[in-house]
Structure 1
Amino acid sequence: MQLLTLEQFRSTNDAGGVLSVTLKAEGTGFEMQIETRRGMAKLVKSRDKSEMRRFIDLRKALLLLRDLGILEARIDSQKWRPEDHEFERKPRPDRAEVMTAAHEALSHTDWLHEKLTKSAAGTRPHVSHEQVMSEAQAIIDKKRQVHAEKSPS
């Protein structure tokens, strides 16, 4: 039996190599079995090519098939055991830790962004360049005048 990733499945279908598709139940989920011109194949996850792609929700499998242009599929539900959902569910404590760390990092980033925004805004009023230069020139002129009055001619 061949193992196909989603991209390989898409290419095979585009080339007209897919004859039929069966959604076969295994426990709480469904695996996609594909009959191709070269024989039977199964849809696998692209990251781990040895692990079958399982669909707990049949709607998602049917949406995928529809997106590929496959409008007919057979459903084999003989081995479907939806009541075993809790037993087959794999706990992911590592994901909980990662998500907690991500949320903490996000809150720190928000805090830092707020501080930087306040810092960039400053507490001093905005004064235009022209105003600063005219005030500086007035001070210089006044000092020159005072200096001119003090110096003997």
Structure 2
Amino acid sequence: MKTFTIEQARAATSSGGVLSVNLKPIGSMFALEFVTHNGPAMLIAAVSKQVRRFSNPIKAFEIVRELGLEGGHFSVAEWHPEEKALDRPTRPDKAAALKAAHQAAGLKHLLDERVNLANAPDAIWHEAEDVFAELEIRNAN
């Protein structure tokens, strides 16, 4: 089957090569299928080259309108919204990155708090030798 990126779909539409568009359900998502003079063509993502899926059909309709197409067909016969959890891939790399970012933000907050306490006018300063001596006494018991 032929595929179009959004730019290719825009060019094909402006040259009159696209006759209509269908909103096609795929699991819990939707895809745009263009009817062209040369047969059907699916809208794909420019980077991944995979069929572009829309969880919200309104976004697909916005693209249809942006392309200058006035109408088309849609069917919800094969739409299965209960499969939403299956259609969304898990992103353990993203989860790990977000967890690390949250931990870093917590440490930064703690550091900022400690710096503010140290910069307070009523802060009490101790000599390093006294602090280490006190720590040695605590750890010795």
Q: Normalized against structure 1, the TM-score is what?
A: 0.63
In the other structure, the counterpart of 1:32 is: 32
**Structure 1 CA distance for aligned equivalents of residues 102 and 52 of structure 2:** 29
Residues 102-139 of structure 1: CA deviation (Å, up to 9, x unaligned): 566778999xxxx9xxxxxxxxxxxxxxxxxxxxxxxx
Structure 2 spans left out of the alignment, 5+ residues: 113-141
1:88 correspondence with 2:93:
no
Q: What's the offset of the Cα at 1:97?
A: 2.4
For the pair shown, which has the larger CA radius of gyration, 1 or 2? 1
In the other structure, the counterpart of 1:61 is: 60
Residues 54-76 of structure 1: CA deviation (Å, up to 9, x unaligned): 11100010011111111212112
Identity percentage of aligned residues: 36
Alignment of 1:4-153 (within 5 A): 4-49=4-49, 51-101=50-100
Letter in 2 for 1:43: L
Q: What's the offset of the Cα at 1:26?
A: 1.4
Q: What's the offset of the Cα at 1:37?
A: 1.6
Q: What's the offset of the Cα at 1:40?
A: 1.1
Give the number of aligned pairs.
112
Q: Secondary structure at the match of 1:74?
A: strand
Q: Please, what is the CA RMSD of the aligned residues?
A: 2.4
**Structure 1 CA distance for aligned equivalents of residues 14 and 65 of structure 2:** 13
Q: What's the offset of the Cα at 1:28?
A: 0.2
Q: 2:29 touches 2:87 (CA, 8 Å); kept in 1?
A: no
Q: 2:22 touches 2:72 (CA, 8 Å); kept in 1?
A: yes
Letter in 2 for 1:57: N
